[in-house]
Chain A
Amino acid sequence: MGQPLQRQRQRNIVVIAVLAALVLALWAGGVSSAAPSGHATKRKSLRLTDTATLHLVRKSGSTLYEKGTATGTLPGTVSARFVTGVTKVTGTVTFYSSGGGSITMTAVGYPESAGTIARFSGNIAVRSGTGRFKNVLGSGTFTGTGNRRTWAVTVHANASLTY
C-alpha cells in the first residue's frame, strides 16, 4: 500500500516540475519574443524627389566645395563636396531640410558630355542623417548639369528612403 502512494507522489512532483519548467520557458520565451516588438519603432518610408541648385564656394585641387538650395520633397539648403576625377566624380551631399533634420548622401557620377555645360548622371547612397533622419537609409539616382566656367551645378535626385 505504502509503495504505490509514494510512486504516485513522485509522479506528481515530476509532473509539477515539468509544468513549472514549461511555464517558466513559455514566460521567458514570451518576454524575449516580445522584447523587439515592444521597443521597435516603425520605420517611415519617403520617396525623395529633389532638385538642388548649387554654386561654387571654393576649389582645392580636384575638390569642389559647393552650397545651394533644394526644392521638392525635402526643401532646404544643401552643401556638397565633389572630387572631380578623370572618369568619374565622387561626392558627399548633405540636405538640410527646412522641416528639421539632415540627410547626407554619397554620390558617384559619370560625365556624359564635355563642353561648358557638362551633363552627368550617377547613383546615390544614403547612409547617415541627423534629427528625425538619424537612422536614414536609402539609395537612388541623379542626373545633373554643371557649368564648367562658373561651376554652378544643378542636380535632380530621386531616392527611396526609410528613417
Chain B
Amino acid sequence: MCRRPRARAVLAVLVVLCAAGGLEPAAGMASVASLPVRVTAAFDPDAVLGAPTALDVRLRLNPRRLTRAPLTEVRFAYPRKLGLVSSGLGLATCTRPANDFATVLIVAPRLGGCPPNAVMGYGTALALVRLTNGQVIREYAVVTVLSGPIEHGRLGLVVYVDGQHPFGAKLAFQGEVGGASAPYGGALTVRMPIVPGLEELATISLVELRITIGSHAIRYYEHRRGQLVAYRPEGVELPARCPAHGFQFQAEVSFADGGRRSARSTTPCPPAVATPATRR
C-alpha cells in the first residue's frame, strides 16, 4: 500500500538531485569539454618503465565556466614515484631580480637571460585578452620552465612567458617545486601576481597551457676535452614498476577573487620493456 507513494517520493528526490547536478551520474554524463578545468599528462609514445621520458602536461580552462578574476596560481601535482629530482633536468639555476616578477618585460634576451642548462621544459600558452572596450583577443605565447635557486629547502622555478602574437608581452613568473600529500610526490607551483597597470587595460584569462617537462628540444651544454658540447638531458625518470592505479596527476588553479578549481587525471602505465616497434 505504502510502497508506491514512497517510490514516487524517492524518484522525485532523485529527479530534483539530478537536475541540480547533485549526483555523480549527472556530472559523469557532462561533456568533458564543458568542465571548468581539465588536465591531461602523457609520456613519450615510446616511453618504457624504468627509463627517462618527457612528460607532456596539458591544462585547459573553460572561461565560460570560470570566474573572470585573474589567475593567480597554477599548481601541478605529480606521482610520488616519478623522478623529477633524479632526472637530468635543472643543472643550472636561473636567478632573476625580484622586480622582474611584477612587470611586463618589454625587452629581454633569449630565455629571459637564464642559462640553457636551467631549462626544464618548453611549452605554449593561449590566453584571452579582454580589453576594457569589450574586444577579446587571443594571445599566443611560448613558455619556458627553468629551475631557480633553492630557497627554504625548496627548488625554485622561473616560468618565462614570451608573448608571440599579437601583443608580444614578455613576463616572468616565480614558482617552486614543493612537497605534496599522497599519492603525489611533489608539486610544481607557479604564482602569477597581478601586473600593476595591466588590469586597467585588460583582463587576461588563461585558456590553455601546455608544458613538456624534459622536452626533446632541450639542449644542455658541457665542457668535454676543452670543447663546449651540446647534449639532450635525461627527462623525468619512470619507476621500474607501475603504481597500482596508474600515474595520478592533479592540477589546481587559484583566482584573485579567492576561487579555486582542480582537476585530476590518470595516465596509464607504459610497457615495462620496449617492444620491437617502439624501441629506439
Contact = CB atoms under 8 A, between A and B. Distances in A.
A148 interface: yes
A2 interface: no
Given A62-B237, A86-B177, A86-B185, A115 B83 contact: no
Interface residues of A, number: 22
Given A62-B237, A112-B150, A86 B84 contact: yes
Interface string A35-62: 0000000000000000000000001111
Nearest to B86: A84
Interface residues of B, number: 33
Interface stretch (B8-16, B68-76, B90-98): B90-98
A17 to B, nearest CB: 69
B147 A85 contact: no
Contacts of A62: 80-86, 185, 237, 239
B83 A59 contact: yes
A84 B239 contact: no
* B interface SS class: loop
B154 A61 contact: no
Contacts of A88: 153
B88 interface: yes
A116 B155 contact: no
Contacts of A8: none
A149 B179 contact: no
B179 A85 contact: yes
A86 B186 contact: yes
A115 B80 contact: no
A75 interface: no
A113 interface: yes
Nearest to A84: B85
Contacts of A60: 50, 83, 237, 239-241
A1 interface: no
Contacts of B50: 60
Contacts, number: 80
* A interface SS class: loop
B82 A61 contact: yes
Nearest to A89: B85
Contacts of A87: 153-154, 178-179
Interface string A83-112: 011111100000000000000000000111
Nearest to B154: A87
A63 B147 CA distance: 21
B153 A110 contact: yes
Given A59-B237, A86-B185, A115 B86 contact: no
B257 interface: no
A159 interface: no
Contacts of A89: 85
Nearest to A116: B91
A149 B231 CA distance: 11
B44 interface: no
B179 A61 contact: no
B149 interface: yes
B70 to A, nearest CB: 27
A111 B90 CA distance: 14
Contact of A114 (B81, B88, B90, B238): B90
A61 B83 contact: yes
Contacts of A64: 86
* Ranked 3 nearest A-B pairs via Cβ: A61-B239, A86-B186, A84-B85
15 contacts: A60-B237, A61-B83, A62-B185, A63-B86, A85-B85, A85-B185, A86-B85, A86-B185, A87-B179, A88-B153, A111-B155, A114-B155, A148-B88, A148-B91, A149-B91
Given A59-B237, A61-B239, 16 more contacts: A60-B239, A61-B83, A61-B86, A61-B238, A62-B85, A63-B239, A84-B85, A85-B185, A85-B186, A86-B155, A86-B178, A86-B186, A111-B155, A115-B91, A115-B92, A151-B86
Interface of A: 59-64, 84-89, 110-116, 148-149, 151
